[in-house]
Chain A
């Protein structure tokens, strides 16, 4: 590689010598595409949930003794993720106006809330009144929560990375595109977790009381 060189006053990306805005635009498209791919995966889970809910195969959608999951933990997890995301956007606004300390505070708080939410998600998964093998509702709800846990784990990495990068001086008022990328992904993760919560709390009892019967496969 030749020594990178370019003209102008904008900060330059060290490995390619391009203005950071060029690199930021490229990263932004990359994140959008990742979100599209993640959204399709989330859609697959939501399709699975609603498909089994609407069919109620073998009248086995409901968990044993109709022990549905409590809706409150779902919405607390959504609330936690939403607050963490809003904090990151606030951090972006801070760094845009030159306040590096504001970003460190916002990202730090965001990371803290994400980790608390992740712990809450794990607690919810381990205290469901059913196991993953207790019917289709139980299976689908487990996987919506596992997907939320995966998103929260990713957010934990991203938010702590923003704290680390800002403290290391890699994020500055004239070069803060990574904060925007993380905030964008957090927004999508909040939407995904919200959709999961919406499905799991509002689509409980199957509307199909004339369920198809496929037998027990035990003969």
Chain B
């Protein structure tokens, strides 16, 4: 992808009146003010609310503690509102309403100019800062979720004793599930969609910089309610929290529901921003057939998030409503239906799998052409694959409900649609295989992740086809086979793709090279542990071991021991990889602007990336993947017909 400069006629832009110093109110806000105001408002709400929410701590006929649930929900929302106000999120809308528009100096201050590392702790709008914030947040969430996974495997591996109280064990399962889902949804789109995508399309920032900061800090505010559930009775019903279990659950469930409501809002805001940026801010000359495939993947993922997350959000709004004001959406006693919940939940719940996988797959396609030095095999098929997945993902949700008793006759149409989605998804695998075909790979860590993910996708995809069949699902549903399958898709294809993307874009994001020897050791250790864990889990599932149990027959012992050993190996591998990230970030070799020789625009600007990304906006004159293709605008190569000089 060639880049040339656009030169503007220089003329000052009229500025609105500067109200005070640049940045205004935001000069006084940071995470500290956010935490203080969030905690204060939460405590005040709790103190006042405890006098008003009645009946305090009592249960109604449906086993719910209505008053206490309402109090906890109000406290959580007060925390979120207080935190967002304290960090300065409301300053933008208020200034807009008053007509106090940002000046250029205001915008520069908000983008973090001259604030050093402190800008990472403020309501900073620069997409690169937000990208780094997302990267760290996703690592923290993955670490927390991974720690819970170790606890789960410890319980299941210790077949001779009971390590945890069964209720606490169930809480660990539910919390692990939802924490990992959130982490995997953001792990590629968050860091790389924010940091890399705008540079990749030749933009100076995201379309809506303040919304960018809003999406991250909303996510940040949503985490404490989720984490605190373990202290308040936990999420004992798996990450899906089927009804009426959710309504009957302890108050920890309120944390789950508040988190999903806020997280869905954060995701919606981020999706609007990513789509608008990709559609309207591409560099001159970057026509749709020249858009890097990663951008297409992020758009596809964002469309699914934008359209389906509100369904998920409302499933939890209504569930929370059942808990705190005793409505009857999911309570059959008063005319509600648990199947309503399941339908609303899975309308996002299944597309969410693709929200996780698609950006990671696109990132791998992006990097493999660089390490193979050949064009992407059929760009148009890849785009068709993404489009097909987006379209069909909306008509497959019922395969999660085959065995719930809801509309049994719908099983076969949804079996067909689920099997249908393997076609566009297969396109994506074929594009990767086609690109590999006869390639001469430069085998660095990002490329190793490509091989790993292809393997995981094949295993996860094929077992998924089994599970989409109603007769097979009748036998397999609710078993460890299902658990192994979705871990192959979400962790095997999602997380390992994220590792590849991290290794690839690490030099651009941090200005330093990743220590590949250590990182590769960690990666392969985790990959080996992953295969051991989940292949053994397939076996346990085929033997008939149900999921979400902590006591089981001795026939499943060997599979569980192997799975637990594998899980510990994953943990060790991830710690090694984390060590490589931290040490390389602090002391790694300084990276050049384009260490891989990539052709997309993010590699054409300097490292560290300047505040506005490019000194002058680039103009795109070529294809992003034209490795080995002669430059059509370059000089015509002339064959040298002269006789070679003869030397004696």
- Chain A residues 3 to 61 lying within 8 A of chain B, measured CB to CB, are 3-7, 11-17, 25-26, 29-30, 33-34, 36-38, 40-41, 43-45, 47-48, 51-52, 55-61
- A1 interface contact, C-beta 8 A: yes
The answer to whether A135 touches B612 (Cβ under 8 A) is: no
B15 cross-chain contacts in A, Cβ below 8 A: 14
- A170 interface contact, C-beta 8 A: yes
A217 cross-chain contacts in B, Cβ below 8 A: 62, 244, 332-333
- A180 interface contact, C-beta 8 A: no
Q: Which 5 A-B pairs have the closest CB atoms?
A: A168-B99, A136-B335, A60-B335, A139-B327, A161-B97
The answer to whether B9 touches A6 (Cβ under 8 A) is: yes
B322, closest chain A residue (CB): A139
A139, closest chain B residue (CB): B327
Considering the chains assembled together, what is the distance between the CA atoms of A168 and B313 in angstroms? 37
B616, closest chain A residue (CB): A2
- B163 interface contact, C-beta 8 A: no
The answer to whether A139 touches B321 (Cβ under 8 A) is: yes
**Which of B132-140, B274-282, B633-641 faces chain A?**
B274-282
Considering the chains assembled together, what is the distance between the CA atoms of A41 and B306 in angstroms? 10
Quick one: which of B106, B332, B335 contacts A137, CB cutoff 8 A? Answer: B335
**Contact A165 B99, CB 8 Å, known A14-B14, A133-B334, A136-B336:** yes
A-B contact pairs, 8 of them (CB 8 A): A14-B16, A29-B280, A34-B268, A44-B311, A44-B315, A45-B314, A166-B99, A170-B99
A154-166 to B contact mask, C-beta < 8 Å, 1/0: 0001001100111
Number of interface residues of B (CB under 8 A): 68
B611 cross-chain contacts in A, Cβ below 8 A: 1
A residues with a Cβ closer than 8 A to B are 1-7, 11-17, 25-26, 29-30, 33-34, 36-38, 40-41, 43-45, 47-48, 51-52, 55-61, 132-140, 142-143, 157, 160-161, 164-170, 214-218
The answer to whether B335 touches A135 (Cβ under 8 A) is: yes
**Contact A52 B96, CB 8 Å, known A4-B13, A40-B310, A135-B328:** no
**Contact A143 B333, CB 8 Å, known A15-B103, A26-B280:** no
**Contact A30 B333, CB 8 Å, known A164-B97, A168-B99:** no
- B263 interface contact, C-beta 8 A: no
The answer to whether B272 touches A34 (Cβ under 8 A) is: yes
- Chain B residues 76 to 114 lying within 8 A of chain A, measured CB to CB, are 93, 96-104, 106-108, 111, 113
A195 to chain B, nearest CB (A): 15
Considering the chains assembled together, what is the distance between the CA atoms of A1 and B87 in angstroms? 23
The answer to whether A164 touches B8 (Cβ under 8 A) is: no
Quick one: which of B10, B103, B328 contacts A139, CB cutoff 8 A? Answer: B328
The answer to whether B306 touches A36 (Cβ under 8 A) is: yes
A101 to chain B, nearest CB (A): 16
The answer to whether A168 touches B328 (Cβ under 8 A) is: no
A14, closest chain B residue (CB): B15
B3-38 to A contact mask, C-beta < 8 Å, 1/0: 000001111111110000000000000000000000
B255-281 to A contact mask, C-beta < 8 Å, 1/0: 000000000000010011101100111
The answer to whether B340 touches A51 (Cβ under 8 A) is: yes
B302-321 to A contact mask, C-beta < 8 Å, 1/0: 00001111110111011001
A188 to chain B, nearest CB (A): 14
The answer to whether B334 touches A60 (Cβ under 8 A) is: yes
Considering the chains assembled together, what is the distance between the CA atoms of A160 and B308 in angstroms? 31
Quick one: which of B207, B318, B326 contacts A30, CB cutoff 8 A? Answer: B207
The answer to whether B12 touches A140 (Cβ under 8 A) is: no
Considering the chains assembled together, what is the distance between the CA atoms of A166 and B101 in angstroms? 12
- B204 interface contact, C-beta 8 A: yes
The answer to whether A26 touches B328 (Cβ under 8 A) is: no
B residues with a Cβ closer than 8 A to A are 8-16, 61-62, 93, 96-104, 106-108, 111, 113, 204, 207-208, 244, 268, 271-273, 275-276, 279-281, 306-311, 313-315, 317-318, 321, 325-329, 332-337, 340, 343-344, 611-612, 615
The answer to whether B335 touches A1 (Cβ under 8 A) is: no
**Contact A139 B329, CB 8 Å, known A6-B8, A30-B208:** yes
The answer to whether A48 touches B318 (Cβ under 8 A) is: yes
Quick one: which of B10, B93, B244, B310 contacts A44, CB cutoff 8 A? Answer: B310
Considering the chains assembled together, what is the distance between the CA atoms of A49 and B272 in angstroms? 28
Considering the chains assembled together, what is the distance between the CA atoms of A170 and B329 in angstroms? 45
Considering the chains assembled together, what is the distance between the CA atoms of A136 and B611 in angstroms? 54
The answer to whether B276 touches A14 (Cβ under 8 A) is: no
A63, closest chain B residue (CB): B335
B275 cross-chain contacts in A, Cβ below 8 A: 29, 33
B208, closest chain A residue (CB): A30
Given A55-B337, A215-B332, 10 more pairs with CB closer than 8 A? A7-B8, A29-B280, A34-B272, A40-B308, A133-B334, A140-B329, A143-B317, A143-B318, A161-B96, A168-B99
**Contact A170 B101, CB 8 Å, known A25-B280, A136-B328:** yes
Interface centre among B308, B321, B328 (most CB of A within 10 A): B328
The answer to whether B325 touches A132 (Cβ under 8 A) is: yes
Considering the chains assembled together, what is the distance between the CA atoms of A216 and B62 in angstroms? 9
The answer to whether A1 touches B108 (Cβ under 8 A) is: yes
Considering the chains assembled together, what is the distance between the CA atoms of A34 and B335 in angstroms? 32
B431 to chain A, nearest CB (A): 28
The answer to whether A164 touches B310 (Cβ under 8 A) is: no
Considering the chains assembled together, what is the distance between the CA atoms of A11 and B15 in angstroms? 11
The answer to whether B11 touches A29 (Cβ under 8 A) is: no
Considering the chains assembled together, what is the distance between the CA atoms of A212 and B166 in angstroms? 34
B337 cross-chain contacts in A, Cβ below 8 A: 51-52, 55, 57
Considering the chains assembled together, what is the distance between the CA atoms of A3 and B11 in angstroms? 9
B572 to chain A, nearest CB (A): 41
A40, closest chain B residue (CB): B310
The answer to whether B333 touches A216 (Cβ under 8 A) is: yes
**Contact A7 B11, CB 8 Å, known A37-B307, A60-B334:** yes
